[in-house]
Each structure stands twice: as structure tokens, then as C-alpha cells.
A and B are shown apart, each in its own frame.
Chain A
Amino acid sequence: MPISDWFKAREVRKYTSTSADMPGELPDGVWVKCPSCKHTLYQGDLDRAGDVCLHCGHHFDIDAPRRIAMLADEGTFQETEAGLTSVDPLRFKAAKPYTGSLEKARALSGLPEAIVTGRALVGGHPVMLGVMDFRFIAASMGSAVGEKIARAFRLAGQEQRAVIMVTRSGGARMQEGMLSLMQMAKTAAETERFARQGLPYISVLANPTMGGVTASFAVLADVIYAEPGALIGFAGQRIIEQTIRQSLPKNFRTAEYFEEYGMIDAVVPRGELHSTIALTLDYLAGPGVPNASEGAACPTGLDGGEL
């Protein structure tokens, strides 16, 4: 399901939280108020803490470049497929034209598309890293996002790398209609193919991960981590409320909620993500046994008949 207004409102709040739009008192860009505990935080302290509130541990939403800087071993990230971008195949024009939304998203994020992919090392392990950026049309998955994910998995297979996907998304990109729904099947097919090579895939569900992204590649990982407080689910919050006509429990569909219900492996605080992923890779792609499974013996990328 595409993103509801609820997310948009939330997002606007967050990205303007350091600007002069904040009601009163706080000088530009120096102080930030935590939306959870309302403590006023010094921006410099918040930066050093990885955008996690020093008082209550609230995880502020972060963009793709910042996420990559936190996850990849220093200086190792090499972007792939940076030139692969969305077009407007349906000439979508309801309310606002899709081309306009794309332009705005590019200007706002400084990114060409809603996911950044690239080669990197994490704890010394070669990986393909994919990070979604919510500022780009709610990081919705259209043809370009689906293709970048598919290529990331294929390249990882060819180069014997693990895959790490950090997801944040409102779901499928409705402006591309069925082409975008089919990206769910396409990315799921790639995870399946990749899995057969015995290489590890770890996903990190960040706030929020919804709709067609959750219901495809995001949860098809060998190990699923999620950030504290991240909202995760399939249907939009408002649609559920309208359907069942009751208000939803307070922690409904948070990372902690799904940990309790057995749907994810662990809630991992942002500060521990890099070391946790590195350690997980030590087990799953550990030195000495990089090709432990039989599938990995196949010539990669050429096993079309074998899917």
C-alpha cells in the first residue's frame, strides 16, 4: 500500500524540526526538540549520537547518505547504478503529475532515486548495500527502485558478496501502476535466486517500512533486524482503523511488537547496527567458509535454468 498522509505529516515534522518553522524559541539548526520526550537537544550532540535522543533513545529518521556513512566501513562505499532513474511510463497525472513529484524529490533529497546501492565493506566483509531514502516520494518502489534492487542482488551473486538492505518505504509507487506492483514479484524472485547461492542477506527495517516493500524483499532476508520504534507493516494505519472501526494499540506494528510476535530476529539500536551486522556476517559469511553451501559452487549469474 502506498503511504498515507499520516506518514507525510510525520515526515514534514521531522525534516523541519531544525528549521525556523518550529514554533518559537529555538535558534536555527542548533537545537532540536525530541518528538518523543520533548527534551531539547544540541544538534552537535545528536549528530554524535547517530541521531538518537540522548534522553529517551528515540531514533530520529535519517537519510540514505547518513545511513551509509554509519554502516559501511569508512571510505569503502562505491555507488552502483547511480544513473538508473524513474521515468513516467503511465503519464500519471491525478492531482499532481508524477514528473513534478520526481523533480521535487530529486531537489529535496539531492538523490537521483529513492534507493542508493553500492559495494562496501562491513566489518571487513564485502557486501552490496542498499539504503532507501524516505525523502524521495516516501521511498516508494517503482520500476527504477525494483531494478536497482534486482541488480544489487545479481551483482552480489556474481561477486560473492552478502547483501544488506536498509528499508524505509511507504510501499509500492502507485504512480507507476501495475509496473510497480510487479516489482514486488521481481525483487522476491531475486532474493530467492540469491539465496540459492548460499550467500547471506540481512535486512534492517527502519522507520517506516510498509506495504509492498515489507511484503517483498524486505522480509525475505536470512536475518531481519529492525530499529527501535520503527513502524512496520502491510496495510496503512488509517485503512486498518477504517476497516475494523477501532483504535489501534499504542505499540501496534512497531519493531518491538513484531519482535514479540516472532516476525523479526531482533530490535537493534542504531549505535549497535554496524557491529551487529559485522558479527552476523562473521557467522554467515565467515572467513574460511565463504562458500559453505553447495549452491555457491555454481558459476554465478549463468544459472538461468536453475532459478
Chain B
Amino acid sequence: MARFVMEFERPLAELEEKLAELKRLDIAATIQLSDEIAGLEREIDKLRDTLYAALSPWEKVQVSRHPERPKTQDYVEMLFDDVIELHGDRTFGDDEAIMIALATLDGRRCMVIGHRKGKNTKENIKRNFGSPHPEGFRKARRAMKMAEKFNLPVVSLIDTQGAFPGLEAEQRGQAWVIAENLATLASLRTPVVAVGIGEGGSGGALAIGFGDRLIMLENAYYSVITPEACASIIFKDATRAPEAAPCLAMTADDLMRLGIADEIVREPLGGAHRDPAIVYASVARAITSALDELCGKDIDDVLAKRYDRLAMTGVFSEGE
């Protein structure tokens, strides 16, 4: 299968194609190409190192959107055992852009809540590209309340461009359900560990995406607004998103610097899709150690800390 090539990877992809071609010739023909092949391999290694060594914020956004990047359903399948997926918001419908499931991580029973993108166009249409409607957020809230009732810690997996900006979504109170989820998460009497696995677009991400810990994958982003929407406001031109991205302080490193994220999970060179198995293992370790710490504590202390975390977030001047 041809790998999906991101814009900034093109020079590397071209070299890799050339190498494959040389290898084909080398096998088919009698000509000795081993020197050329070795040279090209060295060149590719060098380029790969420089290309991926320090990705710009916009390049990270592309990695975070890579179609082969592990998605919520992959993490649920690979990290958790005895999974029971639950459905519906008990009010309107079952929004597939949100996945909720009872699941067991390393022997610990949890409630998993995640934005769910599709793996192909057909799935993406069904799941609205991971952009929930109000019923999706209500479904998530139902899962939060259930987790609270049965003392299950919540593991939330963040991967959305945002809440769906549509007519019916607004009609059914998109703003209201997001606000309710924020209030619910802020006061939920069970530990909440949020993991940014891909895209973290604005209020639709936040509506399931904060708690006692925020773990960010190295190339995941979390932003007040997508770079495209930001560019269309400030430059009147969405195609200038690459310029907007660095201004928004949206990378995992930025979030650590701002004190919003607690931990970064490193990804293989080039992104999580290059070697998902390594990523699953590190994410599992990060979640488990956060839960080990939180689940042993008195829930009142956990909540007091969660409140303090929020109360302390912000940079302003107190005047004279």
C-alpha cells in the first residue's frame, strides 16, 4: 500500500521512490548498482533525520492529521481488554464521532471516552470526521456520570478538529452541551486522565479533554482555534494556516511551557503512524502511571487539585 505522503515529506518520498526503482533494476538487470544504492540510502537517512528532527508547528499539524495515525478505536483495541462499547445519548441518537466504552487497562477497569475519526472516507462520513454534534457530547457526559457513579476512572482520548459547525448542531444547542460537559468534568468525582492523541480543536476538544492530567503525544496539537480558521480571520485567507500555526502556541511543547500539559509521549521519527506499536506501549505506560497515582488518592484532594489547576491557568497583570 502506498503510504500517504505529507507535503513536507515530498523530497524524502521522491528519494525513496528512486531507491525502490534502483533496487528493482538491481535485481532485474545484471548491472551492479550497489554503490548507487548505498549512496542513496545514506542520503535518505540524512534527509530523514533533518526533516523530522525539528518539525514546525504546521508540520506537526499535518502529522496529527495523518490518515494512518492511530485513532481512538485503535488505542481502545490495542491498549484495553474486555471492551464493552456503549451507545447513544438517551435523548436524540448515537453520535459515532464520540466513542464511549467500558474497558480494562492493565487490570484496571476504566471508562474510555474519545473522539472517533474514521480510517477511510466511508467511515469518516459516518463519524462526521470526528466532529461531534450535541448528541455526541451528551453521550460523553452520560459516560462521565456513569464513571462517577461506579468509581471508574475516566480516560479521555482527544482527536477532533472541533465541534461540528452545522445548522442542526447549533439548533440543538452545541454551546449548551459543551458548557455542561465542562462543568461536569470540572466537578466529576472520579479521576480523569486526558490524552491528546491527534487533533485538539477548540471547545469540541475541551468538552471531553481536561481533567487531572493532560498527556500529549509529541505531534498532537491542542488549540483555541484551528490554524485554518485563525488564518481566515487574521489574514482573511485560510491557506495561510502555516503562518498562523506558530502563533497559537498549540504544540505539546508549548502546552508544557504554559503549564497546561503534564507530560509528552515521544513518537517515532516521522510520527506515530511509522511505528504504532511503540506508541501504544508508551501511551499505556503514561496512562497507567497517571492512574496509579490518582486512584490511590482521596477523591476530595484530587478534585481540589483539579480546581486549583484550572483556577491557576491564565497569565494577566494585577496592576499596581
Chain A residues proximal to chain B, CB less than 8 Å: 1-5, 82-87, 89-90, 92-96, 112, 142-144, 146-147, 150, 172-174, 176-186, 188-189, 191-193, 211-212, 214-220, 232-236, 239-240, 243-244, 246, 248, 252-253, 261, 263, 304-307
Contacts and interface: CB of A to CB of B under 8 A. Distances in A.
A244 B166 contact: yes
Interface in B225-240: 225, 229-230, 233-236
A188 B248 contact: no
B176 A263 contact: yes
A94 B238 CA distance: 13
A218 to B, nearest CB: 7
Contacts, number: 226
A219 B175 contact: yes
Contact of A191 (B183, B308, B317): B183
Given A84-B317, A191-B183, A239-B229, A234 B307 contact: no
B179 A189 contact: no
Given A95-B234, A143-B316, A211 B303 contact: no
7 contacts: A5-B233, A177-B248, A182-B210, A186-B314, A215-B207, A233-B175, A235-B169
Interface of B: 163-167, 169-176, 178-180, 182-183, 185-187, 202-203, 206-207, 210, 222-225, 229-230, 233-236, 243-244, 247-250, 254-255, 258, 260, 300-301, 303-304, 306-308, 310-311, 313-320
Nearest to B313: A182
A235 B170 contact: yes
A85 B318 CA distance: 7
A94 B234 CA distance: 7
A176 B313 CA distance: 12
Contacts of B172: 261
Given A87-B316, A185-B210, A219 B224 contact: no
B142 to A, nearest CB: 18
Given A146-B314, A240-B165, A305 B170 contact: no
Contacts of B308: 304
A79 B17 CA distance: 68
A217 B187 CA distance: 14
B280 to A, nearest CB: 26
Contacts of A86: 316-317
